[in-house]
Amino acid sequence: MGVIRSLPFILIIYTLLLPACGPLKVPKPILPIAEYERLLAGRLDADYVGTDQCLSACHFHDQIRRDFDASTMGAQLSEETGLPLVNCESCHGPGSLAIAGLTPGKVARDARAGKQTPCNYNTFIPIKELPAQAKSLICLKCHTGNATFNLHDWNVGEHAAADVSCLDCHNIHAGPDLKVQTEEIAGMCFSCHPEIQAEFFLPSHHPVPEQRVVCTDCHQQHGSPYGKSLRRETVKETCTKCHGEKEGPFLYEHAENTEDCTTCHRPHGSVNNNLLALQMPFLCLQCHPTHQTQQTETDGSVRDLKGAIFTRCTDCHSRIHGTDTPSVGGTSKGRLTH
């Protein structure tokens, strides 16, 4: 624990040493990848010809050019911006074979005729035919150092293991912003998880169909080391992001049950109110006996108590997620009533 507490000091030292790291201040690929891309293209004699041969020629007037210009990657197409250089060939591989035989004159004539000059697309990396992991690698070779660090666990995440690639959600040429918009998220997730979408049809549900809450509020789509692709370490950490009043710690805990909210709740949807997994009181009776149903009076008569106790448990046990106040009944057994 001492090491952890000293992390802030390590951070300061790291920061102060930073200006001394001059030799590292050169943008360069993490690994040489040009040979790898040539191999994927299938021709070792392919070579890199630069973006000018692509966007400034055939794609000059089309939407791909406009979308790229409006993105960070578009700005990176120009070396003078000082940004790490990214261009068409960074993803599509070397383009010399694709434009072999094309001349500026033919491109100009086609442009005057109002048509786009086709290049030999078959010589590029066959992205659509690559396995999902290889498709993702095209992105990860640069975005592995993503500033949000949300790709930290991509390789151990459910999506990577299930052959989902970056391109299944991010349409690189669709627009200037590669980020999936908030209102698109649920539909995108449900296209592969329709059985989860069906749970939101149930009468009690989180407002995902209403687009007030999105799947990625709870789930980390880019991979998570935690179960169910949760964005936070545990179910409780995830739920108390919004339901902070139930987080605790409390003086009187509900044993360990509040560490896993799914013991009692179905997070997507339920037929029962408050997303309860089962209807009360059966939900509680799974672990707890019901109260005594009768009481013997001093005169020996037996009085029925069912009217008092056959109700929703939380009508009386109102602090079921934990409390700091003892029960009112004269004992201190943590009944979670107050």
Partner 1 sequence: MIRKYCIALALLLCWGRNVLAHEADAKHTDAEQAAIYARIPPEFSFSVGTYSTARTGASRAGEYDLLEDSPTLSGEARIYSFPHRLHLDLDGKNRKDYFGEIGYGYRNLLLFRGYNRTLFHNLDNIELIDLDSTVSPPAVTRNDVGVNYGVKTAMNDLYLKFRAPRFPLHLYLAGQSFNKEGKVQQRFLSGSAWFNDRERTSRSRQIDWRTRQYTVGINSHLGYLEADLSHGEKRFDAGGDNVLYDAYNRAGFATTLRSADTYPHNRIAEITGSSNTLKVHTTYTGRLVASATLTTKEKKNDFSGAKADYLFGSGNITWMPINKLTVFLKYRRIHRDLDNPGSITVSGRNGNLYQDLTVRRSISAVTDTYSGGIRYRPVADITLRTGYTFERIDRKDAEPWGIVDKTRKKTLTVSGESRLQKNLRFKAKYTHRETANPAYNTDPAHADEGAFSITWIPRTGIHTLLHYTLLREARNNLLFFDGDGNPIDGTDDRKTQRDRVLGSVSFLLSEKLTLTTSYAWFRNRTTQDIVYTLSTTPFPDRIDPGVPYKDSAHSYTLNLSYAPRKKVRLNTDITRTTTRQDFAPGSPALREPVSIASFSKQRIRETRFHLGGEMELRQGLRLGLDFEYTDFNDTQDNPHDELEDGIIRILQLNVTKKW
Q: Judged by CB, which is closer to partner 1: 98, or 220?
A: 220
Considering only residues 170-199, where is the footprint of partner 1 by CB under 8 A?
176-177, 182, 194-195, 198-199
Instruction: Give the interface size with partner 1 as a residue count (CB under 8 A).
Output: 137
| Cα distances (angstroms) measured from residue 167 to each of 122, 130, 147, 306 | 19, 11, 20, 60
Can residue 23 be called a binding residue for partner 1 (CB under 8 A)? no
- Contact with partner 1 (CB under 8 A) among 112, 115, 128, 303: 303
Q: Does 61 help bind partner 1 (rule: CB under 8 A)?
A: no
Binding letters toward partner 1, positions 83-122, x by CB under 8 A: xx--------------------------------------
Among 16, 101, 112, 299, binds partner 1 (CB under 8 A): 16
**Which is nearer to partner 1, 95 or 248 (by Cβ)?**
248
| Of the candidates 128, 214, 193, the residue with the CA atom closest to the CA atom of residue 167 | 128
Most distant pair of Cα atoms in the chain: their distance: 112
Q: Which of 188, 231, 248, 261 binds partner 1 (CB under 8 A)?
A: 248
- Report whether 86 contacts 77 (CB < 8 A): yes
Q: Provide the minimum distance between the beta carbon of 44 and partner 1 in the complex, in angstroms, as a whole number.
A: 19
Nearer to partner 1, 4 or 113 (CB): 4
> For residue 108, what is the enclosing H or E element?
helix 104-112
- Angstrom CA distances, 247 to 12, 100, 215, 263, 338, stand at 32, 64, 21, 15, 16
Return the number of other C-beta atoms located less than 10 Å from residue 319's C-beta. 19
Beta bridge partners of 294: 304
Q: Kindly tell me which of 89 and 97 has the beta carbon lying closer to partner 1.
A: 89
